[in-house]
Amino acid sequence: MPQKDLLETIIEQVRPLLGKGKVADYIPALAEVDPTKLGIAVTTIDGQTIGAGDYLEPFSIQSISKVFSLTVALTLYEEAEIWSRVGKEPSGQSFNSLVQIELERGVPRNPFINAGALIIADLLQSRLGAPKHRMLEVVRKLSANPHVIYDKRVAASEYEHSARNAAIAYLMKSFGNFNNDVDRVLRNYFHYCALKMSCADLSKAMLYLANRGQSLSAEQVVSPIQTRKLNALLATSGLYDGAGEFAYRVGMPGKSGVGGGIIAVIPGDMSICVWSPELDKNGNSLAGTAALEKLSQALGRSIF
Amino acid sequence: MPQKDLLETIIEQVRPLLGKGKVADYIPALAEVDPTKLGIAVTTIDGQTIGAGDYLEPFSIQSISKVFSLTVALTLYEEAEIWSRVGKEPSGQSFNSLVQIELERGVPRNPFINAGALIIADLLQSRLGAPKHRMLEVVRKLSANPHVIYDKRVAASEYEHSARNAAIAYLMKSFGNFNNDVDRVLRNYFHYCALKMSCADLSKAMLYLANRGQSLSAEQVVSPIQTRKLNALLATSGLYDGAGEFAYRVGMPGKSGVGGGIIAVIPGDMSICVWSPELDKNGNSLAGTAALEKLSQALGRSIF
Amino acid sequence: MPQKDLLETIIEQVRPLLGKGKVADYIPALAEVDPTKLGIAVTTIDGQTIGAGDYLEPFSIQSISKVFSLTVALTLYEEAEIWSRVGKEPSGQSFNSLVQIELERGVPRNPFINAGALIIADLLQSRLGAPKHRMLEVVRKLSANPHVIYDKRVAASEYEHSARNAAIAYLMKSFGNFNNDVDRVLRNYFHYCALKMSCADLSKAMLYLANRGQSLSAEQVVSPIQTRKLNALLATSGLYDGAGEFAYRVGMPGKSGVGGGIIAVIPGDMSICVWSPELDKNGNSLAGTAALEKLSQALGRSIF
Amino acid sequence: MPQKDLLETIIEQVRPLLGKGKVADYIPALAEVDPTKLGIAVTTIDGQTIGAGDYLEPFSIQSISKVFSLTVALTLYEEAEIWSRVGKEPSGQSFNSLVQIELERGVPRNPFINAGALIIADLLQSRLGAPKHRMLEVVRKLSANPHVIYDKRVAASEYEHSARNAAIAYLMKSFGNFNNDVDRVLRNYFHYCALKMSCADLSKAMLYLANRGQSLSAEQVVSPIQTRKLNALLATSGLYDGAGEFAYRVGMPGKSGVGGGIIAVIPGDMSICVWSPELDKNGNSLAGTAALEKLSQALGRSIF
């Protein structure tokens, strides 16, 4: 179990990296974030959460929400139903490429690229009466924070810049791999991405990934074997086109978002969340990755 | 530590899969192998090796040799020198695609696809007087088997069908990322691929990956941190375009070869080798993957 | 000037090809056409029209409408405005590929592939109050046939299967190269494609391409130099991915549609239209192409 | 028939463009050319040749040689034999792309991109005892100039930078579409490219393309129908990825080389050659294209 001191040391060690990355600016609402924010939180399987820096301040979780979506889908569908619609392989391409979808006839490579997450959102739409409401419920419960909300302004801003995601969804539809109204699914998808959570919220919410599927409130979210599989997918596909580099440097399953958050997991031990809005060339938090690397080294722990 | 009984049970459990895959036939010498061969061996960090089935019979290790090449390169070069020439990311493409190399201007995605392994072979050529001889020495020592040899007939057969690998090497050369004579590097590369080793040999030889860089003979082959990184690369890129599926089902760093062998590692515990010549659509041993999946389940062990 | 006899002979010579191609079936309304239809019409610059076979029967002109759209755009915009939004080069790809649009950042290769025609439709939308109405007006006038209509059933059927074209339009929009509402432009675009015209109508309507921009009714539709340029674009990009083969065999600027029509031009002499619903692998009328080849040989005329 | 005055006027009109393009510099021997060279020559079907500027100075014809190669191949093989090995379609790709060859399984798009010309060189190798000698003979005869030579220094320089062409040849070989020794074919191919000819030589040598297959010395080089087909291929694929733009602006079948030469044809009238070493972004002579455009306008002649 890391001490609060260690987390504070790490924060100070990586702070000099601020200014070396680039805040996501494809939508105005994200570009406004204070680029100097920096936080880390760790939740251990005994239920303790510690943190350092801006770890209590909510931020836009963006693609980290894809972990929640897939988790909810795993509770609604047989695995085979999911994997007939989306693959399990790293994409080897920029995270929103249409080339692969065209070459592989409408089936995206994995559920953590945009195309795959849209498939998962389409699956949720088919089974849930009110997917936005349900997602909020799930996330509040997992994080034990009833105050988690959607940032409506971010969701609206994403929707206004949704042409590329619409192109992806229509392309998959043209191959018969999209069942619901594209516009409706996009609106829900952008809400998931617009969840506002802090490092503390996220490290708590992801604890089930470290704890054989059991959440902070001792609920069995998914089975132990499903948890192992989720971690395997995160390890190979969670960091866009930087999964190899992340495994090499950090050695933990993880998922990043363009809001600058990254969650990571040491199975059997702890879930972690870091936040720093500036991104590297692969769209992953630059200082956040460095903080995870330092934590991994300090603890002498990785999955490898 | 698994018991010999367990390995024998697994062999019998997966035997019914024989006949469902396809032996590699791109060179005659490989196509002649008996498709019913099936073996497994495990070497634990205490130095014990057990096995079942045809685990003592040598086979063509093919791409498994890429692990040895990279390991030797790590002992000859600074890491930065290596990673300026080859990437660390999954390819997301068929294992011998030229498209990626063209789009990414001569830098292959990782050292475990053919293009990347040719870069490593080019690096070895630049630093070693007699690379073929040295590789044999290394492999004999790691496996504690002085009788490991190159199958000259396989090496010659590969060379006769080397047009695609020559195209890859020349393409990288055209981008300034290949330094030695293409023909000479190809000849050595095909020899590495033509190493004949048994499951027992390979599980022993790979022990350093499970044992923080220390070989069966207690030699520190690479550092603990390098070992961790090797495993990270194997986990994300070791199984061609099936790395995600392999992580999902087996949950171990691993490397496969078209000869039907797969090596896998549980860091801190054991190295494993399976062999069954019939391949799945991704070019990985079909029954071999199933055997590893069963072993992972039986031991309740995976990295995730 | 060809004689009616010649056209009838050609029709009989190519009739044995019926049954060797495949009627377009991506929308039900097109799949229902009688595959044995076969017609040819020629309009000479002195204003005479002759024909043979089913040359008076209206069919769905589909992509032939792209010639009309571009022609109207040339009357509404400066050339530079058009060519900043769409290229002039052959695509070298299947006619509805998204790969090229992604690689070339939203600018389609030419105005005769779907993506390029959608750009032209977007341009028309921006300048015309009622584009559908205007297009009908133009086409009726060019063909001197006030009874030309849209086939509403075909337009509706196309719209119901529009996912791929929607994907293309949204992808271009994501690169900033689409200005109007995608849905609205698609509806108009599908109407243009659903124009019903006979070979006689089309050979008359295209006369301006053979007559230095002057229509059957002696109206100067576009300038002589613009006419030359239109013919140049048709020669290099009018036949999808079969432009080279068409130039090689027929040697005339031309434009095909999946309804089985092809128009072709001998500048200074005549405009031609053939119709036979069965298509070759490139999506061009199989017997139609053969008929044009025979006409070219019989007249000893081509542009080469 | 244009007058010498006209050619001189055109030369002066385009001279201000010098300095706006970029001399090919991928091999040192080409980079040394004087960038201010500028010439034009026209040979009419009555056998007259006129010229202006540096039209008598030999330059490196480079890819213009691909017209001669294909012509010789047409005299040695049945057409079907040729077109089973290489296509007739525009490439829609950069002129030396491997992507297309991989996607289309070893068959290059047309005989005027490098890959296609290598196929033609492989075909010549199979049928000719001394292909280099024969090519020189053919070219000397067509141009009525016994002093045409290979620039051995350019050929050697190309060979030293041949990695990309070697990659292309080996890739085609890997698909079974290359029969001779790659190295030997490359050496001959580079010699063809290293032919030194003047605008006058080239306009004379290409006269058969304007004259139904009949050369300056009244020899029937290829049949009238083959001539027409050659012109069709030149019109759709002769200008790399600028064929559409060239047709649009110039409206003649043509072939360019990175040495800055372009040959063009007005069937039934004349063959033309321009030379100016600076290239545009597509690798075609910038001032040369402009000169052809002005000639086309001045004569009021194009094929469209």
D205-241 pLDDT, tens per residue? 999 999 999 999 999 999 999 999 999 999 999 998 8
Q: Is A159 a catalytic residue?
A: no
* B103 CB neighbour count, 10 Å cutoff: 12
Question: Architecture of domain A4-62+195-299 in CATH?
Answer: 3-Layer(aba) Sandwich (3.40)
Question: How high is the pLDDT of residue B114?
Answer: 94
Minimal Cβ distance to C248: which of D233, D242, D244: D233
* D35 CB neighbour count, 10 Å cutoff: 16
**Residues 24-53 of chain B whose Cβ lies under 8 A from any Cβ of chain A:** none
Q: pLDDT for A215-251, tens place per residue?
A: 999 999 999 999 999 999 999 999 988 999 999 999 9
Min Cα separation B239/chain A (Å): 11
What CATH number is given for B4-63+195-299 in this structure? 3.40.710.10
Mean pLDDT of B277-289: 96
Question: How high is the pLDDT of residue B302?
Answer: 86
Which secondary-structure segment (H or E) carries C52?
strand C49-53
Give yes or no for residue D8 having a pLDDT over 70. yes
Minimal Cβ distance to B236: which of A100, A228, A243: A243
> Which tops the pLDDT comparison, B135 or B242?
B135
Question: How high is the pLDDT of residue C203?
Answer: 98
Q: pLDDT for B227-236, tens place per residue?
A: 999 999 999 9
> Which tops the pLDDT comparison, A303 or A93?
A303
CB contact under 8 A, A89 and B244: yes
Mean pLDDT of D124-145: 97
Q: pLDDT for C279-288, tens place per residue?
A: 999 899 999 9
What pLDDT band is residue C95 in, cutting at 50, 70 and 90? very low
Give the helix ranges, DSSP H, for B32-146: 65-76, 79-83, 99-103, 114-127, 131-143
* CATH ID of C4-62+196-299, from 3.40.50.11310, 3.40.710.10, 1.20.1050.10, 3.40.50.970: 3.40.710.10
Task: Please tell me the class of the A64-193 domain.
Answer: alpha beta
Which residue in chain C has the smallest CA separation from D211?
C304
What pLDDT band is residue A96 in, cutting at 50, 70 and 90? low
What pLDDT band is residue A92 in, cutting at 50, 70 and 90? confident
3-state secondary structure (DSSP) of residue C264: strand
Minimal Cβ distance to C163: which of A98, A102, A174: A174
Sequential DSSP letters for B115-179? HHHHHHHHHHHHH-SSHHHHHHHHHHHHHT-TT-EE-HHHHHHHHHT-HHHHHHHHHHHHTT---
What is the rounded average pLDDT for all residues in chain B? 95
Is A63 marked as binding a ligand?
yes
Question: How high is the pLDDT of residue A73?
Answer: 98
Q: Compute the distance between CA of residue C239 and CA of residue D235 in angstroms, rounded to an integer.
A: 14
* Cβ atoms of residues C263 and C203 within 8 Å: yes
Chain A residues within 8 A of C103 when measuring between CB atoms: 99
The phi and psi torsions of D225 (rounded to 5 degrees) equal: -70, -40
* For helices D163-174 and D182-193, angle between their N-to-C axes, nearest 10 degrees: 130
Domains C4-62+196-299 and C64-144+151-193 share a fold: yes
Any A CB within 8 A of B16 CB: no
Question: How high is the pLDDT of residue D202?
Answer: 98
Question: How high is the pLDDT of residue B239?
Answer: 93
Q: What is the CA radius of gyration of chain D?
A: 18
Lowest-confidence pick of A149-158, C129-138, D238-247: D238-247
Which residue in chain C has the smallest CA separation from A179?
C163
Q: A interface mutation test: which of B86, B228, B246, B301 has the most A CBs within 10 A?
A: B228
Mean pLDDT of D292-303: 93
Give yes or no for residue D301 having a pLDDT over 90. no
Q: pLDDT for C182-222, tens place per residue?
A: 999 999 999 999 999 999 999 999 999 999 999 999 999 99
- Give percent of chain B with pLDDT exceeding 90: 88
Mean pLDDT of A254-266: 97
- How many angstroms separate the Cα of C35 from the Cα of each of C198, C239, C287? 15, 21, 11
* D28 CB neighbour count, 10 Å cutoff: 12
Assigned fold of B65-143+153-193: Beta-lactamase (3.40.710)
Which residue in chain A has the smallest CA separation from C177?
A163
Q: Is A26 a catalytic residue?
A: no
Q: Compute the distance between CA of residue B248 and CA of residue B242 in angstroms, rounded to an integer.
A: 10
CB contact under 8 A, D267 and C303: yes
- Residue boundaries of the structural domains of chain C: 4-62+196-299, 64-144+151-193
* C108 CB neighbour count, 10 Å cutoff: 27
Which residue in chain C has the smallest CA separation from D91?
C92
Is A177 marked as binding a ligand?
no
DSSP designation for B285:
B
Give yes or no for residue D300 having a pLDDT over 80. yes
Any A CB within 8 A of C98 CB: yes
Any B CB within 8 A of A253 CB: yes
Write b or e for each residue in A95-108: b if 16 or more Cβ atoms lie within 10 A of its Cβ, otherwise e: bbbbbbbbeeebbb
**Residues 113-152 of chain C whose Cβ lies under 8 A from any Cβ of chain D:** none
Question: How high is the pLDDT of residue B96?
Answer: 58
Expressed in percent and rounded to 5, the helix, strand and coil fractions of chain B are 50, 15, 35
Mean pLDDT of B157-183: 96
Complex confidence, ipTM: 0.92
By CB atoms closer than 10 A (0-12, 13-18, 19+), residue B195 is buried
Identified catalytic residue from D148, D222, D258, D274: D258
Min Cα separation B99/chain D (Å): 5
What is the rounded average pLDDT for all residues in chain A? 95
Of the candidates A119, A182, A194, which has an alpha carbon nearest to the alpha carbon of residue A156?
A194
Q: pLDDT for A186-211, tens place per residue?
A: 999 999 999 999 999 999 999 999 99
Across chain C, which distance is largest between two alpha carbons, in Å?
54
Any B CB within 8 A of A78 CB: no
Hey, what are A61's tokens? Answer: 């979780």
Beta bridge partners of A261: A275
Q: How far is CA A242 from the centre of its chain?
A: 14
Min Cα separation B189/chain D (Å): 17
Which secondary-structure segment (H or E) carries A254?
strand A254-256
DSSP designation for C223:
-
Q: Compute the distance between CA of residue B110 and CA of residue D149 in angstroms, rounded to an integer.
A: 47
CB contact under 8 A, C304 and D304: no
CB contact under 8 A, B89 and A243: yes
* CATH ID of D65-142+152-193, from 3.40.640.10, 3.60.15.10, 3.40.710.10, 3.30.70.20: 3.40.710.10
3-state SS of chain D is CCCHHHHHHHHHHHHHHCCCCEECCCCHHHHCCCCCCCEEEEEECCCCEEEEECCCCCEECHHHHHHHHHHHHHHHCCHHHHHCCCCCCCCCCCCCCCHHHHHCCCCCCCCCCHHHHHHHHHHHHHHCCCHHHHHHHHHHHHHCCCCCEECHHHHHHHHHCCHHHHHHHHHHHHCCCCCCCHHHHHHHHHHHHCEEECHHHHHHHCHHHHCCCECCCCCECCCHHHHHHHHHHHHHHCCHHHHHHHHHHCCCCEEECCCCEEEEEECCCEEEEEECCEECCCCCEHHHHHHHHHHHHHHCCCCC
Give yes or no for residue D98 having a pLDDT over 50. yes
Give yes or no for residue D95 having a pLDDT over 60. no
> Which tops the pLDDT comparison, C162 or D96?
C162
Minimal Cβ distance to C251: which of D91, D232, D245: D232
- How many angstroms separate the Cα of D192 from the Cα of each of A205, B119, D124? 69, 33, 12
Chain A residues within 8 A of C168 when measuring between CB atoms: 167
* Cβ atoms of residues A265 and A271 within 8 Å: yes
What is the rounded average pLDDT for all residues in chain C? 95
* For helices D114-127 and D163-174, angle between their N-to-C axes, nearest 10 degrees: 70
Any D CB within 8 A of C110 CB: yes
What CATH number is given for C64-144+151-193 in this structure? 3.40.710.10
Mean pLDDT of B165-193: 97
Question: How high is the pLDDT of residue B26?
Answer: 84
Q: Compute the distance between CA of residue A200 and CA of residue A40 in angstroms, rounded to an integer.
A: 8
Any A CB within 8 A of C174 CB: yes
What pLDDT band is residue C93 in, cutting at 50, 70 and 90? low
3-state secondary structure (DSSP) of residue A22: strand
DSSP designation for B233:
H
Note the pTM of the prediction, 2 decimals.
Answer: 0.93
Is C114 marked as binding a ligand?
yes
Mean pLDDT of D141-166: 96
What pLDDT band is residue D1 in, cutting at 50, 70 and 90? low
Spell out where A10-150 has E strands.
22-23, 39-44, 49-53, 59-60, 149-150
